Each structure stands twice: as structure tokens, then as C-alpha cells.
């Protein structure tokens, strides 16, 4: 709540784009040897470089996935693998910036609620910065994610309830105990971290382009999974920054993908409203199993204003997407991480996209975070005795 204007909503960080353009340029940024989100220093809300946590976050690969593209009849498909961040999800981008800000502010304890990944990211980044963290996750969070929280030394609370209930408890706890809240859709700096994925996509696409002059370039579409709606809002913010600076020429269409069982933003978009009505959430994609999206209005706005679309996919389509990404591009995604691709596959089946559109899919989390779901997608291995005869028998047509 703004003490001056009484406005209660999410704050936006505003930049002086003329000042930034007088300090740097796309080619100056591209010549930097800082291969992390901090290469975009002038576009981030941190003033003290000493506050940056040591873990390397960002500058994840953008693969030209030609084989996957052929399967979908898309000639220009790119996959950004954000599962390669230090705690293996996109959420490291947000946590890196929030932990840096917390250091600048002299914060003693930092907290978040999480379906798993934001918490793991906060735990890892804050441990590297020697700052205690407290994380609230639903008791049902995948064991690998809970193990990440514990090994990084966070104080972990497994909440007997949903992510939405863990979120409310965390907010109440941060007020009661004076902890700094990193919560998604509450702390304005998460979006500032997440927008760096948009910077990287446009810079990396430019670097891959033909010709000697490597201009940063926005793709035609970006597909990403949506739970609370903060990632898609962050990507939108990054693109708006670049457009305002004149570093890219167009705004891509943002394509938000939700699980059928947790489709509150999809429903609002479909109904033509920005008011997101909560749903009772259930899906295999635990990271986007969100009933009350905390940044839902901005997510719907991002999709509407960029002339994109929301798509909802079934758990079966997500499992198929996990297999396709792994077998067609060698990228192992957790269910939510594969959801963006599942949405693209569906859009292609429905012929909603032209075959020559330059399309980026963001893989937001690594498959090792949720082994039971991977096994569900991949099936079981064959068990045999150490005998060549038995092997021959099994292999016989």
C-alpha cells in the first residue's frame, strides 16, 4: 500500500531511458565479458555492485531447435533453457536481484512462499550472500525441491495446505517478524530480475543473425508457462524496456500457457476481463499449480496488449511435451518447464501460428526437480540378468 496515495497494487520500477542510452548501447553490452544477468547493469535497479550475490545467474543458452521445429512444421524455433541456472530454474533471475536489493537495504532475514522453485532460488542465492532465508512451501512440494531448500540451509516450513495458503501465511509472517518479503506479485524487484530473460533472448537472437552487424532482435512470439503470472509480466517488462530504448523494433506476441486444472488467467483472458477469478488448482505441473495468481492481472494485460493469447493444456499434453523436448532437443524439463512447449504444440495443431514465425519457447525448470513426473513421462527401463543370451532374447524382433 502506497503511504502517500493509498494505492494498493504492484509497483513498477521506472528508468530514465535517455540517460541509459547516453551511457551504453546494445553493441557495448554485447562486447561485455560478464556472462550473467549483470551484463545488463544499467537496466537493473541495483546501485552497489558489492551487493551482487556470487552465484552466476542467467545467460542461459538459446538453442535453435531445428529438429523440434521440423516436427511442428516451424522453420524458426528457438528454446531458451533456463533450467541451467544455478538452482535449476528461471526463478534464480528474480532471487538474484531481490537478494542484491535486500543486501543494499541492510535486510537481516528474507522470506518467500513458493511452490518450490522460487524458494530453492532464494535459498541458494541468499546462502551465497550469507543471508538467512525462511521458505514456506506446500507439504506436497516435490521432494527434490524440498531437499534443495534444506541443503542450502533455509529455515523450511512445509505448510499443510496449498501454495495459496502458504503464500498468505508467509505474508503474515513477514509482517509479524519484520522479514523482507521476496513474494511473487508482492516484491517489485522479482519482475526486474525476470525481465533479463527478454534481454537475453533479443541479444542472443541478434548474435545468431546473418550479416556483420549484429542487431538485437525480438522474435515474433514467446511461449511461457504461467502460474502467478510474474514470469510473463517480467518478460513483458524487459521487452518494453528494450522498445523504449530503441534497441528492438517490435513487441513480440506473448503466449501464456496454463494447465487446464489451474487456468485462472486463461479464463479471465477468454472472458475479456482483467479481473482474475480464483480457481481450485490441480495439475501435474506443481510449479504452476496456482489457484489465486498473484500477478494475474498484469499477466492478462501482457498477453492482451501484445496481441498474444492464452492456451491451456492437459497433464497428458505436458507429459508428451516433456518427452518431445528431451528426445527432440536433449532438454530435460520439469512439467511446468515443458508447459510452454506443450502450448506451442497445441497452437501448431490448431494452425494458430504461421510456419515461418520466429518462435521462442522458454523452458523454466529442470527435469531433475521432479523425478516421479519424469518417470511418468518416460516409462520404465527393462530389467535383465547379466546374460548376453537374455539380452539377445529381449532384443529379438
Ligand X SMILES: Cc1ncc(COP(=O)(O)O)c(C=O)c1O
Which residue in 36, 87, 117, 283 binds ligand X (CB under 6 A)? 117
Q: What angle do CA 372, 224, 37 make, to 5 degrees?
A: 100
Which residue in 124, 219, 365, 367 binds ligand X (CB under 6 A)? 365
DSSP class of residue 10?
-
- The CA–CA distances, whole Å, from 221 to 73, 175, 255 equal 15, 40, 7
Applying CB under 6 A, does 134 fall inside the site for ligand X?
no
Number of residues that bind ligand X (CB under 6 A): 20
Which residue in 65, 198, 336, 374 binds ligand X (CB under 6 A)? 336
Q: Count H helices, E strands: the chain?
A: 16, 10
Residue corresponding to grid cell 530480475: 193
Helices (H), 252-370: 264-271, 296-305, 315-329, 335-349
φ, ψ for residue 181, nearest 5 deg: -95, 120
Q: Which three cell numbers stand for residue 116?
A: 518450490
Nearest to 249 by CA among 298, 202, 193, 288: 202
Applying CB under 6 A, does 268 fall inside the site for ligand X?
no
Which residue, 100 or 121, has its beta carbon nearer to ligand X?
Answer: 121
Applying CB under 6 A, does 343 fall inside the site for ligand X?
no
Which residue in 36, 95, 112, 115 binds ligand X (CB under 6 A)? 115
Question: Segment contacting ligand X (CB under 6 A): 7-15, 45-53, 59-67, 333-341?
Answer: 333-341
Q: Which three cell numbers stand for residue 52?
A: 551482487
The residues that bridge with 80 in the sheet, in sequence order, are 62, 362
The site string for ligand X over 216-255 (x = CB under 6 A, - otherwise) reads ---------xxxxxxx------------------------
Question: Segment contacting ligand X (CB under 6 A): 20-28, 126-134, 209-217, 331-339?
Answer: 331-339
Applying CB under 6 A, does 364 fall inside the site for ligand X?
yes
Nearest to 232 by CA among 203, 195, 206: 195
Question: Segment contacting ligand X (CB under 6 A): 115-123, 144-152, 207-215, 321-329?
Answer: 115-123
C-beta of residue 320 within 8 angstroms of C-beta of residue 68: no
Applying CB under 6 A, does 118 fall inside the site for ligand X?
yes
Interactions with ligand X, residue window 280-309 (CB under 6 A) = 287-288
The site string for ligand X over 58-97 (x = CB under 6 A, - otherwise) reads -------------------------------x-x------
Q: Which three cell numbers stand for residue 54?
A: 556470487
Which residue, 148 or 230, has its beta carbon nearer to ligand X?
Answer: 230
Q: What is the distance between the alpha carbons of residues 291 and 227, in angstroms, rounded to a whole number?
A: 8
Which residue in 184, 187, 306, 359 binds ligand X (CB under 6 A)? 184
Nearest to 285 by CA among 224, 230, 360, 222: 224
Which residue, 134 or 137, has its beta carbon nearer to ligand X?
Answer: 137
Which residue, 29 or 96, has its beta carbon nearer to ligand X?
Answer: 96
Q: Radius of gyration of the chain from Cα atoms? A: 21
Residues binding ligand X (CB under 6 A): 89, 91, 115, 117-118, 184, 225-231, 287-288, 334, 336-337, 364-365
Amino acid at each position: 500500500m502506497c503511504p502517500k496515495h493509498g494505492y494498493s497494487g504492484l509497483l513498477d520500477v521506472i528508468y530514465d531511458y535517455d540517460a541509459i542510452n547516453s551511457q551504453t548501447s546494445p553493441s557495448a553490452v554485447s562486447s561485455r565479458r560478464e556472462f550473467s544477468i549483470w551484463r545488463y547493469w544499467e537496466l537493473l535497479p541495483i546501485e552497489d555492485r558489492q551487493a551482487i550475490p556470487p552465484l552466476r545467474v542467467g545467460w542461459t543458452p538459446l538453442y535453435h531447435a531445428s529438429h523440434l521445429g521440423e516436427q511442428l512444421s516451424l522453420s524458426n524455433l528457438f528454446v531458451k533453457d533456463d533450467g541451467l541456472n544455478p538452482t535449476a530454474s528461471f526463478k534464480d533471475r528474480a532471487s538474484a536481484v531481490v537478494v542484491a536489493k535486500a543486501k543494499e537495504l541492510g535486510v537481516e532475514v528474507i522470506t518467500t512462499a513458493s511452490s518450490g522453485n522460487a524458494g530453492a532460488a532464494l535459498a541458494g542465492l541468499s546462502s551465497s550472500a550469507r543471508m538467512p532465508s525462511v521458505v514456506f512451501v506446500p507439504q506436497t512440494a516435490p521432494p527434490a525441491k524440498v531437499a534443495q531448500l534444506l541443503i542450502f540451509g533455509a529455515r523450511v516450513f512445509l505448510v499443510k495446505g496449498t501454495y495459496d495458503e502458504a503464500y498468505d501465511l508467509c505474508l503474515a509472517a513477514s509482517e509479524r517478524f519484520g522479514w523482507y518479503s521476496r513474494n511473487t506479485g508482492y516484491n517489485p524487484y522479482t519482475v526486474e530480475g525476470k525481465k533479463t530473460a527478454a534481454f537475453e533472448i533479443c541479444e542472443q537472437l541478434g548474435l545468431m543473425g546473418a550479416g556483420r552487424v549484429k542487431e538485437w532482435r525480438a522474435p515474433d512470439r514467446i511461449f511461457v508457462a504461467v502460474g502467478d503470472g510474474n514470469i510473463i509480466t517480467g518478460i513483458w517488462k524487459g521487452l518494453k524496456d528494450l522498445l523504449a530504448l530503441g534497441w528492438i523494433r517490435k513487441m513480440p506476441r506473448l503466449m501464456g500457457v496454463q494447465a487446464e486444472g489451474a487456468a485462472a488467467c486463461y479464463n479471465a483472458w477468454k472472458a475479456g476481463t482483467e479481473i482474475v477469478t480464483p480457481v481450485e488448482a490441480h495439475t501435474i505441473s506443481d510449479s504452476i499449480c496456482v489457484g489465486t495468481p498473484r500477478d494475474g492481472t498484469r499477466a492478462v494485460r501482457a498477453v492482451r496488449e501484445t496481441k498474444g493469447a492464452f492456451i491451456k493444456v492437459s497433464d497428458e499434453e505436458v507429459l508428451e511435451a516433456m518427452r518431445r523436448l528431451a528426445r527432440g532437443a536433449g532438454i530435460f524439463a520439469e512439467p511446468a518447464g515443458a508447459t510452454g512447449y506443450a502450448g506451442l504444440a497445441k497452437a501448431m495443431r490448431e494452425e494458430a501460428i504461421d510456419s515461418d514465425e520466429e518462435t521462442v519457447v522458454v523452458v523454466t525448470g529442470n527435469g531433475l526437480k521432479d523425478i516421479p513426473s519424469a518417470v511418468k513421462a518416460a516409462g520404465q527401463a527393462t530389467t535383465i540378468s547379466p546374460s548376453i543370451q537374455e539380452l539377445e532374447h529381449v532384443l529379438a524382433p
